[in-house]
Amino acid sequence: MSFRANGSQQISLFDSINTLTPREQKALENSWAKVFADELFPAIDERPFSVLYSDKASRPNSPVNVIIGALIIKELWNLSDDEVVESLMLDFRFRYALHTMSFDEQPLSDKSLSRFRERCYNYGELTGIDLYHGCITGLAKVIAKVMKLDGRIRCMDSLMIEANIRKLSRMELLYSCNAKLVKYLEAHGMSERIFPMEHYCEADDYNQFIVPLYR
Q: Would you kindly state where each structural domain of the chain is located, as residue ranges?
A: 16-167, 171-214
Q: What is the pTM of this model?
A: 0.75
Mention every residue, 6+ apart, whose C-beta is less than 8 A from residue 119.
Answer: 52
What are the beta bridge partners of residue 60? 2
Chain segment 120-167, per-residue pLDDT in tens: 988 988 899 999 988 998 898 898 888 888 878 877 877 788 887 876
Pair 47, 5: CB distance under 8 Å: yes
Q: What is the pLDDT, as a whole number, of residue 203?
A: 67
The per-residue pLDDT for 153 is 82
Q: Is 213 helix (H, G, I), strand (E, B) or coil?
A: helix
pLDDT the model gives residue 214: 42
List the one residue out of 111, 122, 12, 25 whose CA is nearest residue 70. 111
Q: What is the mean pLDDT of residues 71-96?
A: 92
- Predicted confidence band at 16 (pLDDT cuts at 50, 70, 90)? low
- 63 and 6 in contact (C-beta within 8 Å)? yes
Query: What is the rounded average pLDDT of the residues 203-207?
Result: 63
Q: How far apart are CA 3 and CA 47, in angstroms?
A: 9
pLDDT score, position 207? 56
- Bigger pLDDT: 125 or 67? 67
Burial class (CB in 10 A: 0-12, 13-18, 19+), 6: buried
pLDDT at residue 64 in the model: 95
Strand partners, 198: none
